[in-house]
Structure formats: structure tokens, C-alpha cells
């Protein structure tokens, strides 16, 4: 674990309320030749980071048992301090030039047919890490030409020259998570801007990329605000959406405002489909890369 993760996210201290039954996940026991061990060995052997571990995702064992993982580029220290996120915040190290190759080799070893690549924010770099994304995608393509590649990117401060670098790698899916409703941005993600994130998604959509975004609920938003946010995402061309429950990583992180009931997620799925999203994954444990290979529009075919 990165020692920076032990630093309190804020001066507040409020333990999360007890989880309802629908959020309690049974983790499988470690078994010989368990796929979870296989993925762990591939990741650790390549000295790689995954958002599964760095963000303390509740679905880690489930996804790794399916031999899937979301690779996290550019280190495990983020330059932004979002109040909900469990990724370490601080001054990042220099990029590892071998990381793109290691990710590609790991994806090949796992025999993946759908790879998700994300990164920490690297506001310290002139290109925000865009060239690092491009190199990684290209090396995966060389080794797994049939593999679908999804990139989950930061906003790059809406610098078009950096976005163009990422576009040139021709990812199958361009994902940028909006995370929450406009009113809560200053509290939830103070270094981000609602309109800027929408601009990034609109820019990618107009370039012909298949665009995707995600929201985490239970931060204090109203249902009406979620509806408006979904409308905003559709208006800029986003075609895929995920909605999941916020789970407070530690008592010093942003407190959970509410545990959203499963039936509300079901209703939001229907609302999203009615708006015209091609795919809507909505549920308490859904995350942006949860069953990412099944979220794609071509999965049904």
C-alpha cells in the first residue's frame, strides 16, 4: 500500500453507516489456481497498479475471478484531492517508461478480450499523461489485435492538443466520469469542473469516438438532479452510462449521505434508456469498469 493512503483525506472523522444487506459482498476464499491469484501475480509481477486496489473497489475479487482488471497508469499518486476517492494524493513520481510495455504484456498473459486503462491525474505533466496512454494502447494493439480497448481518462484540463494525442491511439471506448451532479462538484471534486467535463465528452463525441461516463450516487444529490445530469450527458453525445453507490473508503473521506435502494437504480436504468443511452449499467455495486466487457453496445450481438 502507498503510505500516502494512510494520510487522512480531511480533518473530519465520521464513520460510514452500516451497509444494508444489498451492499454486503461475500468474498471468496483463496484457492489453489484461483483466477484471483493469477491476476494478482500478473499485476504484481509486472509492478503494475490497478484502480481495483488503489481505489479500494468492492468488486475486486469478483472481477479478478473473471480474469479482468483495470490498469492504472502513471503511478499511484494523484495530483488532485477529491473528497470521495481513495487513491493517494501528493507529488507523483516520474513516469516509468517501461509501464506501457508491462501493461501490454500483462494483458496478453491474461488473454483479455476487453482491456480498461485509466490513470491518476497528472497535472504536473505538460500533456497530462496523454502520450503515456497512447503508447500503452498501441502496444496492447500489437499484441492483442482483436482486443477491445477502453480508456478512462482525466479531463486533461480540456486542452485539445492533449485530447488529440489520446484520440490518435483510436480507443474503442472513450470514458470520462462526470462522477456527480453540478451542485456537488465544489465539495466532491473541487479540482474538476462540471462544464469542463461535459466539454471533454462532447469534444470526443464530435470526433466520432464511442463515449461513456459514470455517476456515483449517495453523495447528497436529489433524484431530479440525477435526471438533469443524465440529460446533460446525452446532450453532449454520451452513449454509455454507469450508475453506482458511493461507498465511503475511510471515516475521513466524504460521508455517505444515503444508501440508494436497488429499485431506484432500476428506475434510473429505465430513465436512461428512455433518454437514448445505448447501454445503461445501474446498480449499487456497479462501477465504471464493472463487467466492462458486457457494457459495450456490441455485446448483445
Grid coordinates given for 70: 483495470
- Would the annotation count 63 as a binding residue? yes
- The CA-based angle 131-9-1, given to 5 degrees, is 65
Between CA 283 and CA 292, with CA 289 as vertex, the angle to 5 degrees is 90
Q: Which three cell numbers stand for residue 40?
A: 494478482
Task: Say if residue 52 carries a ligand binding annotation.
Answer: yes
- Return the C-alpha torsion angle 177, 179, 181, 187, nearest 10: -130
In this structure, what C-alpha cell is assigned to residue 287? Answer: 462501477
Per the annotation, does 147 bind a ligand?
no
Q: How far is CA 54 from CA 70, 73, 78, 96, 158, in A?
A: 10, 11, 11, 17, 25
Alpha-helix residue ranges (DSSP H) falling in the chain: 35-45, 51-54, 60-65, 99-110, 130-143, 160-167, 185-188, 194-206, 223-235, 262-275, 292-295
Is position 85 annotated in a ligand binding site? Answer: yes
Alpha helices in 219-261 (DSSP H): 223-235
Annotated binding site for [4Fe-4S] cluster: 52, 57, 63, 78, 82, 85, 289
Annotated binding site: 52, 57, 63, 78, 82, 85, 289
Amino acid at each position: 500500500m502507498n503510505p500516502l493512503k494512510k494520510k487522512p483525506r480531511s480533518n473530519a472523522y465520521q464513520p460510514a453507516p452500516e451497509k444494508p444487506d444489498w451492499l454486503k459482498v461475500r468474498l471468496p476464499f483463496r484457492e489453489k489456481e484461483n483466477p484471483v491469484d493469477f491476476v494478482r501475480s500478473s499485476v504484481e509481477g509486472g509492478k503494475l497498479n490497478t484502480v481495483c486496489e488503489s481505489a479500494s473497489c468492492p468488486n475486486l475479487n469478483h472481477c479478478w475471478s473473471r480474469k479482468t482488471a483495470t490498469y492504472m497508469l502513471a503511478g499511484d499518486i494523484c495530483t488532485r484531492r477529491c473528497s470521495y476517492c481513495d487513491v493517494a494524493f501528493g507529488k507523483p513520481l516520474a513516469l516509468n517508461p517501461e509501464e506501457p510495455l508491462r501493461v501490454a504484456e500483462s494483458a496478453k498473459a491474461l488473454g483479455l478480450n476487453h482491456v480498461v486503462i485509466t490513470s491518476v491525474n497528472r497535472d504536473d505533466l505538460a500533456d497530462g499523461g496523454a502520450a503515456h496512454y497512447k503508447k500503452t494502447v498501441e502496444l496492447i494493439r500489437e499484441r492483442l489485435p482483436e482486443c477491445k480497448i477502453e480508456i478512462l481518462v482525466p479531463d486533461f484540463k480540456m486542452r485539445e492538443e492533449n485530447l488529440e494525442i489520446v484520440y490518435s491511439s483510436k480507443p474503442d471506448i472513450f470514458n470520462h466520469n462526470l462522477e456527480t451532479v453540478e451542485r456537488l462538484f465544489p465539495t466532491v471534486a473541487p479540482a474538476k469542473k462540471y462544464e469542463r467535463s461535459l466539454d471533454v465528452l462532447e469534444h470526443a463525441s464530435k470526433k466520432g469516438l464511442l463515449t461513456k461516463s459514470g455517476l456515483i450516487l449517495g453523495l447528497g444529490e436529489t433524484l431530479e438532479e440525477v435526471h438533469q445530469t443524465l440529460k446533460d450527458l446525452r446532450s453532449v453525445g454520451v452513449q454509455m452510462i454507469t450508475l453506482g453507490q458511493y461507498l465511503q473508503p475511510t471515516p475521513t473521506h466524504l460521508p455517505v449521505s444515503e444508501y440508494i435502494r436497488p429499485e431506484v437504480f432500476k428506475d434510473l436504468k429505465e430513465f436512461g434508456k428512455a433518454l437514448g443511452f445505448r447501454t445503461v449499467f445501474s446498480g449499487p455495486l456497479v462501477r465504471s469498469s464493472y463487467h466492462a466487457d458486457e457494457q459495450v453496445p456490441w455485446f448483445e450481438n
